[in-house]
Chain A
Amino acid sequence: MTAPSSDMPLSATQLVHLAPDHPPHDRNPGMALDLDWVAGVQANTSAIERRAASLGGRRSVKKDHQAAWLLKAISLIDLTTLSGDDTPGRVQRLCAKARAPVRAETLHALGMEGLTVGAVCVYHDMVETAVRALEGTAIPVAAVSTGFPAGLSPWHLRVQEIRESVAAGAREIDIVISRRHVLTGNWQALYDEMAEMRAACGDAHVKAILATGELGTLRNVARASLICMMAGADFIKTSTGKEGVNATLPVSLTMIRAIRDYQDRTGIKVGYKPAGGISKAKDALLYLALMKDELGHPWLQPDLFRFGASSLLGDIERQLDHHLTGHYSAANRHAMG
């Protein structure tokens, strides 16, 4: 599939309607860098913040719907460990949790046997361990790459790291962009970097981490989102989890509006992954409502939406327990990841 030319006129019929069905989508082939489009990007911070702040009051899911939505959230989690003290044992335990994220009797009671998380996300050195631990499941292993989290190691090593993670069995690669290209407005460099990393991924899907907490403005977030999509990112992702500020609703709104514009212009769906700071079941529901309202049903599936989270699962398990028993639960009643 070729990317449509960027100066294609926009019309009503081209805007993609948010239909509830979910056909498989094509990978993002990218498109030529369109700097006019980038220059025209607007993001009004106050207005975006107001929309984000009122969202929680506008949407509410209760009872069975809440349980179903929380189970959906589990299916969208990139269960993550990205610590210097990660060991094979730690990663195996995480993978076991990924296979069985909720107590079997709970899943049985909810009629949701077989539920797993969306993926397991680890450093390169843990990829093989994770792949082996997840054999027999459909759960992909994602590797953070390219000198994560700062992305400042030598360029050839960053590209090589992608290749080695893919060779080790990672089906998804979470790359970090060079923030300096955004901060200095070097869009061509950002585009080239992203395109080359995308190429290095081969068949593995690439998630572009923008490190939004270090981009200074929502306008920069919107611009960087567009550039990464033009250069072929399959997903755009907020954060490494290591910045001072990670996923926020205003940043998310900005990025998913960029995703919608990209789809309107090219017909291509790009995924979204907020990461870092989403630790409560209630937050997860809010994100799901945001995705549903702004982008539609396809973005409630793991091929287009993931939560980058480590402690979220525990809170969701407790909420599901409460749904079934009517009593508030405790962490020690649920298996560690």
Chain B
Amino acid sequence: MTIKEIFDTMSYGPAPESNAEALDWLARHDHRFGHFINGSFTAPQALFDSTNPATGKVLAQVSQGSETSVDAAVAAARRAQPKWARLPAHKRAQYLYALARLVQKHARLLAVLETMDNGKPIRESRDIDLPLVARHFYYHAGLAQLAPTELPGMEPLGVCGAVIPWNFPLLMLAWKVAPALAAGNTVVLKPAEYTPLTALLFADISREAGLPPGVLNIVTGDGDTGAALVAHPGVDKIAFTGSTAVGKGIRRATAGTGKALTLELGGKSPYIVFDDADIDSAIEGLVDAIWFNGGQVCCAGSRLLVHEGVADHFHAKLKRRMDGLRIGDPLDKCIDVGAVVDPVQLASITRMVDASDGDKYTADTPLPSGCFYPPTLITGLSAASPLMQEEIFGPVLVSMTFRTPAEAVELANNTRYGLAATVWTENVNLALDIAPKLRAGVVWVNGTNMFDAAAGFGGVRESGFGREGGWEGLLAYLRPSGKAAALKPVAPLPAPKSATVDTLDRTAKLFIGGKQARPDGGYSQPVYGPKGALLGHVGIGNRKDIRNAVEAAQAAKGWGRATAHSRAQILFYIAENLSARAEEFAARLKAQTGSSGTAEVEAAIARLFSYAAWADKFDGAVKSVPIRGVALAMNEPCGVIGALCPDDAPLLGLISVMAPAIAMGNTCVLVPSQPFPLSATDLYQVLETSDLPAGVVNIVTGPHAELAKPLAGHMDIDAVWSFSSTDVSQIIEADSATNLKRTWVNHARARNWFAPDAEGRAFLRHATAVKTVWVPYGE
């Protein structure tokens, strides 16, 4: 083309970013990589290709990690961990600061290599991924510095295994490595099979920071390598980002092992546009929501919900914008959408879209041959359409309409997932009303895909649990110091040869939906005192009683919308009414256990006071994110919490579980102490007289081993806790994978329910989920 011809057509020409430095680095390593273990690269072996999806050319060969290589990496991490944890906080902060600086110094090399390995446009790796990576290390240098003084009584978990995806290879490395190291852990990281190269480059660079050998280890490989890392007994925590299916597998694989787990999984995040939105800006937001990284983003705004009255206009404008997207060579600085990561993913996208109903619109823009998929909009779908429910992980947007704000919320929440949500409206009342109602870990108002190290990121429901970023993210890499004693099973007292029987029958019932209910199965069991007295009978609850209790708890969810002040009032009132019957409750404790119950009743009343106090004081935060606007970290209730209460401390244990749950706005299904259930069944009379709305607390007596399973597997329970002396931790963690509810189990470790650490922030954190609401502002 002559200059005159370009002058007339004003076409964009090629604007390639040089890949010479990246190719040099690959050549210096002979295009073959071993693992990075204990500060150096192992000899390459069992090699597989890492290809550039945009060209199909092999970039390098990397090693398939075996159980042996995982073992070596974990051993190196284990050796390095005590010394790393013992370093003064300031020293760890210096290392993280050095890593941040090195990321900046090598930013272009890392960005170019990322684009070559992954296929994302250089604009994104250069302007978004790399700055976020550097920011993450800077921020966590600060957290490393402050953690010991700000989070006293906590210690690192030990060796953290990280398994990360291919969509943000280096950024996900940063999200795992920075908090783990800041907290004093060492790391074994397995990058994705498709995109291992920037992790290896990062490992190479980390030596320039003088990072002690073994603190960071990289083992490359496929899913088998990841599984070996997950299964390794020397790993104390698994942090996983990836698909929901694999996340569920990891939940089951780690169940009962005592390994800490955080999962950041898939999504089908709603993108809600109200009729008063700045439509052009909302459309530009969609470009950043679903065509950012070709839609291969866990939190992609992939489900457009648009106000019916403006839908046709919106779709027409959107299609025109789609036509302006430029697809092609990811290294070109004038490209909007790059390559799909791998032909396997391309085939998956193609298959899903081809099988879908609805009106499909493909962007009218040149599509290069190879591993590319055109920006696509599918309208005319219903909530039942598979693509409205299933994550596509490609540049495909599906769209539906709504009529009212309430319907928008209902449609938005009509999903298994709960990662992110986007809301566009110029009405601040509407935006701030909708944001808390959306079931998501992150809500963006009038913007999308905003991230920062200071702001927690993570999901609810089948999008996983745990937060990354902020103090809440750091806590996922720490645990309370010290090791608890083993918890011995607490057995019910045996039936005497001849029981002492009070002639007046006392039959404790279940407490469901504010009513006393007979057990569904029609079976009861006697409860005997230490001296052979028949104290009464309790119902043997079964899975149907659990079902009924969960339904009642779901129906009572308005409790979460009550003001914290009124929840506090009711907790005080429960304490007051319990106090009025203190002697009776103390006597009942003594009758069941043989020991004086006075101190336990007093402790229970004090605990109710504590959580009445906390109800309106477990404040969220405004995060210092680098935008003009606010990022609100809101502590929201989990929803419905099912809990197997402590067998020891029959009253105090139950109160210690119930009170933080309801103080934070959850409703709950409590299975009381199995051997000593009568304090719980007495308590419902106190609850009945304390203005607690029906269904907020439900009590189902019965055998813990039987009831753990229906609780853990129930799809409409959001969290399950177990402090039972029956060791059900494995069952609960394994079955929680059905809907990826959060779990908090004791792994057969004892807890002193009278101790100060049996109440407070740890309980409140488990009773809440942090939702980060981003609200940029400015007129």
A: which residues have CB within 8 A of B?
A: 10-12, 15, 17-18, 20, 42-51, 54, 57-65, 67-69, 71-72, 110-112, 217-219, 257, 260, 288, 292-293, 297, 300
Q: Does B357 contact A (CB under 8 A)?
A: no
Query: Which of B7, B313, B777 has most A Cβ within 10 Å?
Result: B7
A54-B127, A58-B336, A60-B333 known; A46+B10 contact, CB < 8 A:
no
Q: How far is the CA of A15 from the CA of B629 in the complex (A)?
A: 34
> Please, could you name 21 A-B residue pairs with CB atoms under 8 Å apart, sorted by A?
A10-B313, A11-B316, A44-B278, A46-B628, A46-B777, A47-B446, A47-B447, A49-B778, A51-B284, A57-B123, A58-B336, A61-B13, A65-B12, A65-B13, A65-B15, A67-B3, A68-B10, A71-B3, A112-B3, A218-B779, A257-B280
By the criterion CB–CB under 8 Å, are B11 and A293 in contact?
no
Chain B residues with CB below 8 A from A64, complex form = 1, 3, 6, 13
Q: Could you tell me if B3 and A44 are in contact, using CB atoms closer than 8 angstroms?
A: no
A260 to B778, alpha carbons, bound, how many Å?
A: 24
CB distance B10 to A292 under 8 Å? Answer: yes
Q: Could you tell me if B13 and A217 are in contact, using CB atoms closer than 8 angstroms?
A: no
Contact in complex: B10, A297 (CB < 8 Å)? yes
Task: Verify B6–A60 contact, CB threshold 8 A.
Answer: no
Q: Which residues of A contact B333 (CB under 8 A)?
A: 57, 59-60
- Chain A, residue nearest B9 (CB): A20
In the complex, whether B334 has a CB less than 8 A from a CB of chain A is yes
Q: Do B4 and A111 touch across chains, with their CB atoms under 8 A apart?
A: yes
How far is B7's CA from A12's CA once the two chains are assembled, in angstroms? 31
Q: Could you tell me if A68 and B7 are in contact, using CB atoms closer than 8 angstroms?
A: yes
Of the residues A10, A42, A72, contact of B7 by C-beta under 8 Å: A72
Listed stretches B28-36, B194-202, B317-325; interface member: B317-325
On chain B, the residues within 8 Å of A17 by CB distance are 320, 323
Q: A46-B778, A47-B282 are in contact. List 11 more A-B contacts (CB 8 A).
A: A10-B313, A12-B319, A17-B323, A46-B627, A48-B278, A110-B3, A111-B3, A218-B779, A257-B280, A260-B280, A288-B10
When C-beta atoms are compared, the residue in chain B nearest to A256 turns out to be B280
Tell whether, in the assembled complex, residue A18 and residue B278 are in contact, meaning their CB atoms are under 8 Å apart: no
A9 smallest CB distance to B (angstroms)? 9
Are A50 and B4 in contact, with the CB atoms below 8 A?
Answer: no
B285 to chain A: closest residue by CB: A47
Interchain CB contact under 8 A, B14 and A46 = no
By the criterion CB–CB under 8 Å, are B447 and A293 in contact? no
Set of chain B residues within 8 Å of A112, measured between Cβ atoms = 3-4, 7
Q: Contacts of B742 on A, CB cut-off 8 Å?
A: none
Q: Are A57 and B426 in contact (CB under 8 A)?
A: no
Residues in A with CB closer than 8 Å to B11 are 65
Which one of A18, A58, A64, A293 has the highest number of Cβ atoms from chain B below 10 Å of its Cβ? A58
- Bound state CA distance, A292 and B11, in angstroms? 9
Inter-subunit contact A71/B7 (CB<8 Å): yes
* Contact partners of A218 in chain B: CB under 8 A: 779
Convert B257-300 into 0s and 1s, putting 1 for each residue whose CB lies closer than 8 angstroms to a CB of A.
Answer: 00000000000000000001111111011000000000000000
CA distance A188 to B6 in the complex (A): 44
Docked pose: A242 CA to B354 CA in angstroms: 57
A43 to chain B, nearest CB (A): 6
How far, in angstroms, from A64 to B14 measured CA to CA in the complex? 10
**Chain B residues within 8 Å of A58, by CB:** 123, 334, 336
When the two chains form their complex, are residues A18 and B324 in contact, meaning their CB atoms are under 8 A apart? yes
Asked if residues A18 and B7 are in contact (CB atoms below 8 Å), the reply is: no
A219 touching B779, Cβ below 8 Å: yes
Contact assessment for B9 and A293 in the assembled complex, using a CB-CB cutoff below 8 Å: no
B757 contacts A by Cβ under 8 Å: no
B343 lies within 8 A of chain A by Cβ: no
Could you tell me if A42 and B279 are in contact, using CB atoms closer than 8 angstroms?
yes
